[in-house]
Amino acid sequence: MSKILILFAHPALEKSRVQSQLLAALRGLQGVTLHDLYEVYPDLNIDVRHEQSLLLQHDIILFQHPFYWYSAPAIVKQWQDLVLEHGWAYGSSGTALRGKRMGNVITAGGPETTYSKEGWHHHTIADFLLPFEQTAILCNMQYIPPFTIYGTHRLTPSLIQEQAVAYRQMLEQLRDEQTRI
């Protein structure tokens, strides 16, 4: 059984419709740690040592966040800049994260069709997440393809519930499987 760390980032969760339901869905899930970055670090003053020790205690690291400007909210970048230290996460002696897996859990406003070569945004979500993928590789980690919920602007409550259940199942599968997805 793998241990999953969810690095959750939402600057205005009080206004969120989908992410709040996703959080509710993973409540009580064994082997899954939810780490709410904006709640723990409202001043963005990230405790690097604490974050690193959290990473060491888990096997799978997931960034869960809304898709803002084709990327994550600001605190995720701040987190990456500070926590993934040279000599610890990468570089010739940076092997702390070797063998772990990393991925993104994304909620995007637009429908899936808009995230394609022909669509409104001209690229897929995976394309936009290239920096995350390469970050994982540089840190000796395996990158898991993103779990994306599209079209959140038009999702009805029942559809949101469906997605939340799917998310929970995905996490359970990720946690329990023996090898790669």
Partner 1 sequence: MEHSYFFIAMIYLAAAVVFIPIARKLGLGSVLGYLLAGMVIGPSLLGFIGQEGQDIMHFAEFGVVMMLFLIGLELEPSLLWNMRAPILGLGGLQVLITTAVITGCALLLGQPLNVSLAIGMTLSLSSTAIVLQSLKEKGILSSAAGQSAFSVLLFQDIAVIPMLAIFPLLAGTSTTHSNGHSLRDNLPAWMQTFVVLGAVVVIIVAGRYLIKPLLRIVARARVRELFTAFALLLVVSISVLMSVVGLSPALGAFLGGVVLANSEYRHELESDVEPFKGLLLGLFFMAVGASIDFKLILSMPWVILGLVIALMALKSIILLVLGRIFRISIEQNLLFGMSLSQVGEFAFVLLSFTFQYNILPQGTVSILTAVVAISMAITPLLMMLYERLIQPRFNVTDKNTREPDEIHLQEKHPVIIAGFGRFGNIVGRFLRVNGIRATILDLDTDRVDTLQNLGVKVYYGDASRQDLLEAAGAMDAKIIIVAMDTVEQTLEVVKVVRKHFPHLQMLVKAENIPDTYELMDLGVLHIYRETLDTSLRMGADALNMLGVRAYHAHRIAGTFRKQEEKALKGLSAIRNDKKLYINTVKERIEELEKLMANDKITRWNSPAQGWDESSLINEANGEQ
Segment contacting partner 1 (CB under 8 A): 8-16, 92-100, 117-125, 129-137? 8-16
The single residue among 30, 43, 99, 180 that binds partner 1, judged by CB under 8 A, is 43
By CB under 8 A, tell whether 24 contacts partner 1: no
CB of 157 to partner 1, least distance (A): 13
Can you tell me the distance from the alpha carbon of 87 to that of 181, in angstroms, rounded to the nearest whole number? 29
Q: Which helix H or strand E contains 43, and what residues bound it?
A: none
Quick count: other Cβ atoms within 10 Å of Cβ 87? 11
Contact 75, 11 (CB under 8 A): yes
The single residue among 1, 24, 33, 42 that binds partner 1, judged by CB under 8 A, is 42
Size of the site for partner 1 (CB under 8 A): 15
Nearer to partner 1, 42 or 91 (CB): 42
Contact 104, 60 (CB under 8 A): no
Q: For the chain, what is the radius of gyration of the CA atoms?
A: 16
- What the block records as the tokens of 77 is 């970048």
Site residues for partner 1, window 124-153 (CB under 8 A)? 153
CB of 109 to partner 1, least distance (A): 6
Nearer to partner 1, 43 or 118 (CB): 43
Q: Which residue, 175, 176, 177, is CA-closest to 5?
A: 175
DSSP letter at 113? G
Segment contacting partner 1 (CB under 8 A): 32-40, 55-63, 76-84, 169-177? 32-40
CB of 139 to partner 1, least distance (A): 26
Can you tell me the distance from the alpha carbon of 177 to that of 175, in angstroms, rounded to the nearest whole number? 6
Can you tell me the distance from the alpha carbon of 16 to that of 133, in angstroms, rounded to the nearest whole number? 26
CB of 38 to partner 1, least distance (A): 4
Instruction: By CB under 8 A, name the binding residues for partner 1.
Output: 11-15, 38-40, 42-43, 68, 73, 109, 153-154
